[in-house]
Amino acid sequence: MQFSSPTCAPCERVRAVCAEVVAGAEGVRHVEIDVAVDLDRAREYGVWRVPTLLVLDPVGRIVRRAVGVPRRGDLQAAIAEVMA
């Protein structure tokens, strides 16, 4: 789950990394939340800066949190941990 803003340049890079990683991971989705549109959800998840990326397990628990642009390998490892 990516929290972003339309005016955030690093958010574009996070979107690209997520698209690449998700394309190779069956059963994994990338969901982007615009904080300007859904500020309540951002607050619910404790998001104070964009981009913030949360990796959630199948029941919605936060497994990993990254602020800024995550490294592809770190994101792949977090997803592998959830899928194991």
Torsion of CA 37, 45, 65, 49, to 10 degrees: 50
CATH number at residue 44: 3.40.30.10
Q: Does residue 84 register a pLDDT over 90?
A: no
The residue behind tokens 């698209």 is 19
The model's pLDDT over 35-69, given as tens digits with 9 standing for 90+, comes to 999 999 999 999 999 999 999 999 999 999 999 99
The residue behind tokens 């549109």 is 37
Full domain range(s) for residue 67: 2-83
pLDDT score at 24: 82
- CA geometry: angle 21, 26, 29, nearest 5 deg: 65
- In this prediction, residues 11-28 reach a mean pLDDT of 94
- The rounded mean pLDDT for the chain is 95
pTM here?
Answer: 0.91
The residue behind tokens 């936060």 is 62
CA distance 26 to 49: 29
Q: Are 51 and 14 in contact (CB under 8 A)?
A: yes
Number of domains comprising the chain: 1
